[in-house]
Chains A and B, each alone.
Chain A
């Protein structure tokens, strides 16, 4: 499904990260993503940071496409495809811990809003922490970690998550962030005996489960993911190790 919608809000989240809001009726669940068209530049997958009648994407400026999206203004149009993929599967009453690395917080925000779960947001330094203000509206416990110690816990998000899992009883960890972080988060959850669901990312073309360019082992990240269960992650040999480029060539990531 595709739709061209008007942008109704634009917020600066940090030096290099913006949220764009639009009114869009398409049904969506926490963890799903959309393909966002930057005309003349590119089209890229972006997690929805809001999934209600008003939806949003929160985009860090890291390249041509994201910078073009930053250039979009309130009142202008944006063409979206989706929402695509499987979101988080969170049973009622479960004690959840959300663990975000950097702008990965965007993909977790709708689940944090729905569950009010404890939340960790980590980044290299304090200036890169985003959406903690939004998380605080819905959850009592929002903890920050920074690699340089400039804000909150001095260390990375996985180290902090391990501490919290030792102190409190959690049923489920949900996570999104750089893949190396997620790889260690998955390991940490297994060590602590806590179930997890993590949102992964790969280069995508169709987004709709057709072309097969975002395969991890025999799974399509766009359609069988982007959220994978702990057991699925156990079986994905590509997780944390390999990805494929636009040509379909294998690239080692660690």
Chain B
């Protein structure tokens, strides 16, 4: 009887609904930054496909073309990309946000070269209606940005702190796995006032063409994503969950409900999906939602929150 009541409650509330920090999402899976999220219409499509929120392409102060092609290639187990932070600049992005926020929650991802730039960008994202901001402290392939500044805990702390004091919406820090201790970066983000950390960004990688005897990507190195990085991401989430008291958003190689469940059981309060939008299509969100709901029902979980970190116990 108790089980039945809880089950009914879960259906009424939406078993997949999550809330962490001050944010409430109807579904726990978000579109990871950089995936079909540069235009208003594409973000609307992703939310309609079943994403609980969309994290925007990382936006900077000025328009930026990114690296020259090739910027992307398939490898066994995933993709390696070095897009190089292409984006139309924060001012023009207002138009895309105006379209996207009407469809559902949008998390504004921003990148800057210092705390002041991050704070300015985050404030604009808040003005545009972003439900939270995600600070890109982890892009592995853009000189002077991302991981180049986000690998130092001191920078992470000061940037998160500057942004936290200039916006009211939750501030998330997206962390790099290309470091000796991701927990240390997580603690710096928490100390700076982050309401959540997001892990992981891509793993720094190079693809060489044997026949043509040179690196394929124009930037030479890029970042590996997809199924190959999943165990690395899960380890990062597992460690961060143990080290921090703020929620962890898991990302890296999730392509089905089981991957998502693994991340949640390792300690993720929510998750993001990137590469699988390419391999499985936008419908991946609907598939994950249905599968996760069935798994939760089969295992007697009334909410995602009950699952978080269970594999750590």
Contacts and interface: CB of A to CB of B under 8 A. Distances in A.
B71 A205 contact: yes
A24 to B, nearest CB: 14
A249 interface: yes
A246 B38 contact: no
A20 to B, nearest CB: 15
Contacts of A218: 41-42, 44-45
Contacts of A43: 69-71
A193 interface: no
B73 A81 contact: yes
B39 A39 contact: no
A211 B35 contact: yes
A205 B67 CA distance: 10
Nearest to B48: A218
B292 interface: no
B9 interface: no
7 contacts: A2-B73, A209-B277, A211-B83, A212-B37, A220-B36, A246-B66, A247-B86
B67 to A, nearest CB: 9
Interface of A: 1-2, 4, 35, 37, 39-40, 42-44, 77, 79, 81, 205-213, 215, 217-218, 220, 223, 244-249
A77 B70 CA distance: 16
A248 B69 contact: no
Contact of A205 (B45, B63, B72, B214): B72
B131 interface: no
B65 A4 contact: no
B68 interface: yes
Given A81-B73, A249-B63, A249-B92, A217 B41 contact: yes
Contact of A248 (B38, B68, B210, B214): B38
A209 B79 CA distance: 12
Contact of A210 (B35, B39, B66, B86): B35
Contacts of B223: none
Interface in B207-245: 209-212, 214, 216
Contacts of B74: 1-2, 81, 208
A4 to B, nearest CB: 5
A247 B87 contact: yes
